Amino acid sequence: MPAQLMDGTALARRLVEETTAAAADITRRTGTAPCLATVLVGEDPASVTYVRMKRNRCAKAGIGSRHIALPASTTTAELVATIADLSADPDVHGILMQHPAGPHIDERAAFEAIAPEKDVDGVTMHSFAAMGFGLPGFVSCTPGGIMRLLDAYDVGLAGKRAVVVGRSAILGRPVGMLLLAGDATVTYCHSRTADLPAIVREADIVVAAVGRPRLIRGEDIKPGAVVIDAGYNAGNVGDVDFDTARARAGLITPVPGGVGPMTIAVLLAQTVRAAAHQLGVQAR
């Protein structure tokens, strides 16, 4: 029997509905709508599209947006100054810096200019440490969406072996920490991992987040395992060979329609939570 699909689109829709209601409640009680600022350096077509999509989703959820478009020639110092101004602006409750910002930009310096209470994308070292220590804060959005998917499908983590393929600072590393916080035993794999298939075969939960199409093959999936494909490559192809993996897995995310919709839904939810905190009201 093929694996059950983990429907990220439906779960994201429910989360956005809850977020929309919460945003409306905050606006009614305070007279101020939650506001997300997006910062984009240059005119990379994919980045422009992503930012436009996020702003459209904000509008539909009753979240205000402020877009800062900077030329490709922007320096790191100029970008940091722009983000610092947004961090100090009481009318902005969340900040998203679209990345990549260009090879000449020190992205870590730019991320660190985001005030922790406005880091709704979960990209600062403060947020990373909070995830690692299990402290209050904002999670990286894609890992946060993955954890919500696992919870929605009643995937117990305690004692399970989770293999994370990928070690990026905003996806692989944080999702591993969140799985560890749920009492899973976590193994990180990456481009220099020896005999990756053998490690994947032992996993009860596989998170593919490396950006290489169909890297994870179906024959290497443990029967009944949970497969989370966080990759997105040209042609709507994930990091997992979907058809062969579905024949062996118990649960699997499709691409598209799995992890992707959850990322934006978590971003919106965290923006509203940030606004509630900054405006001094309890989010509902």
Q: Is 121 a catalytic residue?
A: yes
- Domain 141-259 in the same topology as domain 31-115: yes
Q: Are the CB atoms for 38 and 67 separated by under 8 Å?
A: yes
Task: Considering the candidates 4, 7, 44, 54, report the single residue annotated as catalytic.
Answer: 54
Q: Are the CB atoms for 162 and 205 separated by under 8 Å?
A: yes
Residue in 68, 59, 65, 66 with CA at minimum distance from that of residue 40: 68
Burial class (CB in 10 A: 0-12, 13-18, 19+), 120: buried
Q: Is 98 a catalytic residue?
A: yes
Q: Which residues of the chain have pLDDT under 70?
A: 284
**The pLDDT value given to residue 282:** 87
Q: Are the CB atoms for 145 and 259 separated by under 8 Å?
A: yes
**The pLDDT value given to residue 191:** 87
Task: Considering the candidates 119, 121, 229, 241, report the single residue annotated as catalytic.
Answer: 121
Q: Are the CB atoms for 154 and 128 separated by under 8 Å?
A: no
H-helix or E-strand containing 35? Answer: strand 35-41
What span, in angstroms and rounded, lies between the C-alpha atoms of 138 and 128?
A: 9
Q: Are the CB atoms for 207 and 164 separated by under 8 Å?
A: yes
Q: Is 54 a catalytic residue?
A: yes
Q: Classify domain 141-259 by CATH number.
A: 3.40.50.720
Rounded to whole angstroms, the maximal C-alpha distance in the chain is 57
Residue 216: CB atoms within 10 Å: 27
* Domain boundaries, given as residue ranges, for the chain: 31-115, 141-259
**The pLDDT value given to residue 283:** 75
Percent of the chain with pLDDT over 70: 100
Residue in 143, 26, 169 with CA at minimum distance from that of residue 93: 26
Question: Sign of torsion, CA 135 14 261 223?
Answer: positive
Report helix angle 259-279 to 8-30, nearest 10.
20
**The pLDDT value given to residue 1:** 84
Task: Considering the candidates 7, 25, 85, 98, report the single residue annotated as catalytic.
Answer: 98
Residue 106: CB atoms within 10 Å: 14
What span, in angstroms and rounded, lies between the C-alpha atoms of 144 and 270?
A: 10
Q: Which residue has the tokens 């007279």?
A: 31
Residue 90: CB atoms within 10 Å: 9
Tell me which CATH homologous superfamily contains domain 31-115: Leucine Dehydrogenase, chain A, domain 1 (3.40.50.10860)
What span, in angstroms and rounded, lies between the C-alpha atoms of 34 and 91?
A: 8
